[in-house]
Structure 1
């Protein structure tokens, strides 16, 4: 399976996907804003990454506005927050067979490129 979860309004996601161009042309693409993720999809990502927390973005504006930094969140909390609010997914998320690449750091994107090359 080759799939990418992204946000079409995110300039960083757009830039990364443009840079990867032909390498991801055969990927299934899911815009998480218009096509909400299911718990099954989130669970599948967690199986590859190890934790829901690894999928969770603390950079989302709602993280501060909801006061989540002051709370002790459980794995169940992370799972529900990601499903309820797409901005909490650290993105983009690339799935390549049994591998997962989460986020937009240069290290993650380089690792994915090397995996596909």
Structure 2
């Protein structure tokens, strides 16, 4: 499966999508308009290894809810990602059995190399 989970209102996600063009074979899912499902999240976790690796600690809600002062477990990360789209680190690029999470320059370069070898 070739899929990108992103947020259309995020300028960084938009910039990255432009960098990765062409994406003809990819399905794009705007996680605000089409929230991630439990089944999708399970699949991503299987590729990533943990829910924590899919979790964005930079989300505004993370600080607003004082979650940075609490010891979170895997089940908490999962529940929070399913509860609100901002907790998913973006973008998440799924390329068959490979996954690229987040917007770091290194991660995006690795994704580019795999999308357009």
State the TM-score, normalizing by the size of structure 1.
0.97
Q: Distance in 1 between matches of 2:39 and 2:8?
A: 22
Matching residue of 1:9: 9
Displacement after TM superposition at 1:19 (Å): 1.2
How many matched pairs?
Answer: 116
After TM superposition, which residue ranges in structure 1, 4 or more long, deviate above 4 angstroms?
A: none
Over residues 14-65 of structure 1, what are the superposed CA-to-partner deviations in whole Å (9 max), with x where a residue is unaligned?
A: 000011111x222000000000111111110000000000000000000000
Q: Distance in 2 between matches of 1:75 and 1:53?
A: 6
Matching residue of 1:102: 101
Q: Distance in 2 between matches of 1:14 and 1:54?
A: 22
Report the aligned-residue RMSD. Answer: 0.6
Counterparts of 1:1-117 in structure 2, within 5 Å, are 1-22=1-22, 24-116=23-115, 117=117
State the TM-score, normalizing by the size of structure 2.
0.97
Give the gaps of 5 or more residues in structure 1: none
Q: Secondary structure at the match of 2:58?
A: coil
Q: Distance in 2 between matches of 1:8 and 1:114?
A: 23
